[in-house]
Structure 1
């Protein structure tokens, strides 16, 4: 190694070395700062958007449309539907296990058995606001079967479309969980313009799909790693076959004192604050408000009883649990991504 021969040379050598090191150090610091600004700026935008959605009162979605369904019983199952003025498309909705068509609309004189779960009803409101005629059918069993039932549902959908004179409109489908797997199979028999599979990977390893298969968007929760891996695999396989595919990732978010009042009709701010405080005191949420587990695994109903907190309607138990599951983001119906879903549908409407 070359060494300066005297003190002046050593000083000069050190200064020259420092001359090059300082700009590099400054450049590195600048790049780090820029990266942090970009990273946290984007996260901030996403956080602000999520905060806006979560803090939006449930009835603000009803400013332009009201839930007013028609109920029928045909082929041994429930058929519930609503058509907006001047519809531009048809949307078939398939519920998950233990669900039913009645979950998508509020109880009313025309639908006395309707249940109106918060996420399901908001999906319908979004659909109607975007001028989609909405049709929901109840599965015959606890979950959807992938055999004969698809032929029955295909016939029901086609007959309903003909009866309502909607045959010239494009048809779409959205299925959640068991309903998502069912829609992935039904799409082999009924030509949809596009489908959305929510918290479901589909059964594509058992289907001989081609480039004519409908464009598909996966709306999933990456915390469910097994399903996430399957979806990642199917995205690659389907793209290789020439199928237009995309994904929407739904992540967890913290609860707030007004969260339940904002999301659930019939639950006021006072009760929402009591629920939040109860969950916090019992350790169901962490110091930042995030759920430690989903609503199905937490003894929150017992905690309410011990605190003497009563609900104005016992049916709200299912509504509260759905929103807890949504916040935990492992496996639940979600309306928070409705804009992206319907933007995807509309991009394939022609």
Structure 2
């Protein structure tokens, strides 16, 4: 048998923008040489087949680009922009505790190093993975939590999140979780400053998380805390610490408790604040797309119109009934795409609850509360001033 000559493989096909995935990876069929064909014939045949395939692909790509739906272009743009500013946390195990934490970049804070730490505590039925979109073990990235992280990073704070020890009801037990959280915060702070001069630490928590941060000062020195949809009296009164209660308009019981607690404190009001969160009007067409990065403007507008037509909104755009008990899901389901609309897991569900202002994590008022707490920081720790 004569010596076999194998033709050199053709150069790789260049990738073209917006080419569908099933047309990018093209594997040419293997070319078997026949004994009675010369090397020149083989090369010519391969070239002809290759050039024909490339020509066909170019024509198809041009057609697809010209006929690419405008809605698809818009959706891609929205998703790219929404994820470009989201913090990617560091995953670390500290004292056998799974920790996610993110430090501000110079782009976010315009400063060279962090000036403090914000610990964030989830509510019942949630976890520390709610606070970030991208993380090694998979994060849920709920919109209100992600927005709160962004607010802290913009203020040059390191954001630290852990889950409660109880993974059945996923609520916090202060006597159990207090020491765990304190140990983590101590180690994170030592990364930036020696133990003798730890970074200032604040804490934010909602519902069960609000109860935890109210007593966290028993286990580690806090500069203050923000308790949302939970009003529990602090167990320690530190003159220079701040206390902020964020209560929702339809939650009259928590609002009343917050007023009583602040009225009973021996304070001139300099270190305590009560922020009331009114309902949010679902009237603007981009209401959902502005709060949820993965929702396109067109789907947002469709959801708002469907809620209006379904009678779920009043004339000003406010929800008539608590979404935890109404049938609003039937109105937005056709435009929800991959959102499951399941309670405690759905971005849209969380935003609906926040809009009603009864009992939900919300970014509303957090910026004001953080600014207040950082403004009353003692002069000896003025790096955040």
TM-score range, shorter chain: 0.7 to 0.9
The total of aligned residue pairs comes to 285
Q: Retained in 1: the 8 A contact 2:226–2:244?
A: yes
| Structure 1 contact 221–329 (Cα < 8 Å) conserved | yes
Question: Which residue pairs with 1:188 in the alignment?
Answer: 218
- How does 1:17-96 map onto structure 2 within 5 Å? 66-75=86-95, 77-85=97-105, 86-96=113-123
The verdict on how the C-alpha distance between 1:294 and 1:60 changes in structure 2, with shifts beyond 3 A counting, is: farther
8 Å CA contact 1:70–1:80 kept in 2: the answer is yes
Q: Which residue of 2 aligns with 1:328?
A: 356
Structure 1: which 5+ runs fail to align?
Answer: 1-56
Q: Distance in 2 between matches of 1:155 and 1:121?
A: 24
- Deviation string 1:114-153 (CA, Å, 9 cap, x unpaired) is 1111111011111111110110111122110122221122
Q: Is the 8 A contact 1:252 1:328 kept in 2?
A: yes
**d(CA) in 2 for partners of 1:299, 1:66:** 32
- Deviation for aligned residue 1:69: 0.6
Structure 1 position 202 matched with structure 2 position 232: yes
Q: 1:304 to 1:169 in 2, by over 3 A?
A: closer
| Contact 2:190/2:198 (8 A) holds in 1 | no
1:173 alignment partner, SS class: strand
1:97-246 maps to which residues of 2 (within 5 A)?
97-106=124-133, 108=134, 110-141=135-166, 142-165=170-193, 167-204=197-234, 207=235, 209-212=236-239, 214-240=241-267, 244-246=271-273
Aligned to 1:147, the other structure's residue is in SS state helix
| Cα deviation, residue 312, structure 1 | 2.6
| Aligned-partner SS, 2:266 | helix
Candidates 266, 291, 312, aligned match of 1:284: 312
Contact 1:62–1:125, Cα closer than 8 Å, also in 2 = no
C-alpha contact 1:224 1:331 (8 A) present in aligned 2: yes
- The change in CA–CA distance for 1:271 and 1:62 in structure 2 (over 3 A counts) is closer
Which whole-Å CA distance do the structure 1 matches of 2:127 and 2:181 have between them?
Answer: 14
User: Structure 1 stretch 125-134 or stretch 157-166: which is displaced more?
Assistant: 157-166
Larger Rg: 2
Q: Which runs of 5+ in 2 are unaligned?
A: 1-77, 106-112, 379-385
Distance 2:331 2:97 in 1: 37
Partners in 1 of 2:376 and 2:341 — Cα distance?
A: 37
Residues 216 and 222 of structure 2 are in contact (CA less than 8 Å); yes or no, is this contact kept in structure 1?
no
Structure 2 SS opposite 1:239: coil
Residue 31 of structure 1 aligns with which residue? none
SS of residue paired to 2:274: strand
TM-score normalised over the length of structure 2 = 0.68
The Cα of 1:315 is off from its aligned counterpart by: 4.7
Task: State the superposition RMSD in angstroms.
Answer: 2.6
Aligned partners of 1:223 and 1:329 also within 8 Å: yes
> What secondary structure does 2:246 align onto?
strand
Structure 1 partner of 2:39? none
**How many angstroms does 1:211 deviate by?**
4.4
> Given that residues 77 and 140 in structure 1 are in contact (C-alpha distance below 8 angstroms), is that contact kept between their aligned partners in structure 2?
no
The partner residue of 1:267 within 292, 295, 315 is 295
Cα deviation, residue 259, structure 1:
0.5
